[in-house]
Every structure is written in structure tokens, then in C-alpha cells.
Structure 1
Amino acid sequence: MALKAAPEDQALLLELQDLDTRVQRLDNQLRNLPETAQLAELEREALALRRTLAEQTGTLEDAQAELGRVESDVAVVEARMTRDRERLQGTSSVKDVQALEQELAALARRRDELEEIQLVVMERVEEHETSLSATRAALAELDSRVAATTAARDEGAASLQRERAATATDRQTIAARVPTELLALYEKQRERYGVGASHLRGGVSSASGVALNATDLGAVRAAAPDDVLLCPDSNAILVRTAESGI
């Protein structure tokens, strides 16, 4: 036996469909918040910066270690020079004096070489420190952007969730007024085809956007007002109103 329902009950399905469409739209917006994509891009930037930071830190540490070795070598040379000067002051042997002066001259040249190297390495250390500071600053600025974007995402999501909750409450109110069998058919068609109710307006089904052909339109005209009809194109319940043009 074909399902029957009062026209005013069938009209409730249009409100129900509108609310279900709104819930789907809100769910889609929640899944595709613009800030979510922005955060993913920011995370890729942060990952690249953290990788650069790690590399720069390693390079700086290597340069600092090299500088430490050069400074240690300078200290060793200066210690030997101090020792030789003390020995030079304490000896009267011409041979020893000559040997010590030659060694002091060689040590002085070695110290000069090491100090030149030390200056070069110090410059490299300063350059690496500057680069590292710039990367840290960029990462800190990026962290601020991440925090701001996260806050905007959470605020937007909360707003959408509040709207969705209100819409779901309205849906429950409307659904409670729809007769059980009619509601069950609506839910079945919506689950199967994506749309549960279609408004026939001016001979056009809102669910499919297609005008009913003459045969289908004739069948609609011949049906009783309380007959529950299905849209021939979308399979949603075809709801007739004063706008249907029949």
C-alpha cells in the first residue's frame, strides 16, 4: 500500500531537508577550515627552519671547536715563548742563547700564523652566530603566526560547532513533528541518495534541478494531495506546494 501523509506533514520535510543541508555544509566547513591548511603550510615552513637551525647549530659548534683548538695552540706557543725567555735570561752560554733566540723567532712566526688563523675562524664564528640568530628570530616569528592561526582556527571551529548544535536542535524539533513512517522514508532516501526531500517548484524538482517531463507531471497532477511521491530523477520525496505549478 502506497504511503500517505497530509500535505502539511510532507511540507515539514522541506524544513528538515534544509536543516540537514545546513548541517552537511557546517560539517564540510569544519573539515575544511582555511586555518587548517594554513597551519599545515606553517608546519612545513617550521620544519624547514628547524632543519636549518640544527644544521647551523652544528656548523657553529664545529667552528667554535676549531677556534678553541687554535686558541689552545696559541696558548701552548706563548707558554713555550715565556719558558724560553726565562731560560734566555738565566743562561750565559752563547750557544744556548743563539739556540733560544732562534727558537723564539720560530715560535713568534708560528704564533703570528696561528693568530691569523684565529682571526679568520673568529670571523666565521661571528657569521655563523649571526645566521643562527636570524634563523631563531624567523622561527620565533613563525611560532607567533602558528599561535595566532591556531587561535583563529579554534575560534572559527567553536563558532561553527555552536551553529551546528543549534541546527541539530532545530532538526530534532522538526523531525518530532513528522509522522513516523514518513520520517523513516525520508531518512532512507536521504541515506541512499543524499537528498531526502525535493521541492517541486514551477514543475522543477529542486533536488535534481530538472523539470519533470509531461508524463511525470501528469502523474503528479493525478495523485491525491496526501499521496507520498518520489522524484523520478533524484528519488527524494517530491513535496508539492502552491509553488509547484500543477
Structure 2
Amino acid sequence: MKAPVSEQRSLLELQAADNRLAQLGHRAKTLPQQKRLDELAALAGAVSRTFATVRGELEDAQLEISRVESDVQVVATRLSRDRERLEVSSSTKDIQALEHEIVSLEKRRSDLEDIELAVMERTDEISGRLQVVESELGALAAERDELLVSRDAELAEINSERRGVQVNRDLIAGGVGDELLALYDRQRARYGIGAALLTRGISMGSNVKLHESDLAKIRLAEPDDVVLDPDSSCILVRTEESGL
């Protein structure tokens, strides 16, 4: 293939633009903010599961308190009824039965009040743990919000530069013939680099000094001949500093 020397040299600018686009793309994908955001998402998921578990404990404890309070109310109602009956009863047998039941009910109420106190203390302890977990979630959310702002600002900067580089790249590509451009794009897609400078006998595509036999072949090529690097397969762009 043949192509004007000026077009071949334009490939170096094209490659520089593509390199910068690749760098910007890699930077956008590997932002430290995003890495931390991913970590925070995992942390928040774990803390949210803990929150759900602790909240379930609290709801169970609160339900238990409600049941105990209901039982206490039932006992209190029966005590009130038995005491009223005791005041009006004239039967020794009924009086003894009522007094015995009152003693049992008072014991039952005392036991229930002890249980209620224990459950209330446990509820307070669970509430404290729940507040700690809520604080952790709040701290994670605050850090996440700060990181989102920072990440989006950096992404906007990257995308702005990327658009500028792309415009420049399109302008450069517009000055390159279709056949040469197609070869450049093909080699870049296959091998990661489309064109590189040959300087002092060293290919900047492979960073390797070419063998003398390869250099001899290149010396025989016409200036407008398109030469490929025998190592990296990219287009070798020759200039005055190529050492030929």
C-alpha cells in the first residue's frame, strides 16, 4: 500500500488522540470514588441487614411488652372484682377461696411486672443498638453523597476532555485517506496500536530495536510505501529521526 508521507505522519497524531481517549476511558472506569462507592454499597447492604434484624428484635420485644401489659390488666381486673366480692361476701368458704385467689393473683401480677420490667430493659438495650446501626447507615449515606458529587464532577471533566479529543481526532482522521485509515483502525483493533514512530532504528510500537535485516528492507521502501512493524504489526511512520 502507498500513502502520502504527510498522511502517514498524521497517523502519529491520530494514535496520540486514540491513546488519550483510551486513557480517559480507563480513568473513567477506575475512578477511586467509584471503587469506594462500590465498597460503601456492600457495607450499606450488610448494615441494612443488621438494621432489619435489630428492628425485628425491637418489634418482638415491644409485642411482648404489649402482651405482658394485657396480662397485667387482666389480673388487675380480676383482683378488683375479687376484692369487691370479698367485701360483700358472708360465706366463710367463699371468703377463703377469694382470699386464696387474691394472693395468687397478686403473686401473678408481681411476676408479670418483673417480666415487664425485664422486657422493658431489653427493649431499651435493643433501641440503643438500633440507634447505633442507624448512625452507621447515616454516616455511610453521607459519605456516599459526597463521593457521588466528587465522582460526577470528575466524570464531567473527563467527558468534557474526551469530547474535545474526539473532535480533534475526527479532524485528523478526516485528513487521512480511507484505505490508510482503514488499515490503521484494523491494526489498532487487532494489536492495540495502529501506528508508531520509527526512531533511531527502534519501533515505538514495540520499544524494540529492529533487526538489521528488517531495517534493510525498510531502507529499500519508497517514502510513500506503508511499512508495518514486524514485531507489533502497527504502521511504522518514518521521519528524519528514524535512523535509516
Instruction: Give the shorter-chain TM-score range.
Output: over 0.9
Structure 2 counterpart of 1:19: 17
CA distance in 1, matches of 2:3, 2:87: 124
Structure 2 counterpart of 1:3: 2
- Alignment partner of 1:108 out of 106, 109, 115: 106
Helix, strand or coil for the counterpart of 2:198?
A: strand
- Superimposed CA distance per residue, residues 93-120 of structure 1 (whole angstroms, 9 cap, x where no aligned partner): 4443333222222211111111111111
CA distance in 1, matches of 2:187, 2:93: 113
Q: Matches of residues 184-199 of structure 1 in structure 2 within 5 Å?
A: 184-199=182-197
Structure 2 counterpart of 1:165: 163
Task: Name the aligned partner's letter for residue 191 of structure 1.
Answer: A
Is the CA contact (8 Å cut-off) linking 1:208 and 1:233 kept in structure 2?
yes
Structure 1 counterpart of 2:178: 180
TM-score, normalised to structure 2's length?
Answer: 0.93
- Alignment partner of 1:88 out of 82, 86, 89: 86
Q: Matches of residues 27-42 of structure 1 in structure 2 within 5 Å?
A: 27-42=25-40
Cα distance, 1:149 vs. partner? 1.7
Cα distance, 1:218 vs. partner? 1.6
Query: Structure 2: where are the runs of 5+ without partners?
Result: none
RMSD: 1.6
CA distance in 1, matches of 2:129, 2:205: 60
Query: Structure 1: where are the runs of 5+ without partners?
Result: none
Is the CA contact (8 Å cut-off) linking 1:70 and 1:114 kept in structure 2?
yes
CA distance in 1, matches of 2:91, 2:181: 119
Structure 1 counterpart of 2:41: 43
Give the total of aligned pairs: 244
Structure 2 counterpart of 1:221: 219
CA distance in 1, matches of 2:202, 2:12: 15
- Choose 225-234 or 10-19, whichever is displaced more: 225-234
Structure 2 counterpart of 1:132: 130
Task: Name the aligned partner's letter for residue 203 of structure 1.
Answer: G
TM-score, normalised to structure 1's length?
Answer: 0.92
Task: Name the aligned partner's letter for residue 242 of structure 2.
Answer: S
Helix, strand or coil for the counterpart of 2:237?
A: strand
Task: Name the aligned partner's letter for residue 228 of structure 1.
Answer: V
Task: Name the aligned partner's letter for residue 106 of structure 1.
Answer: S
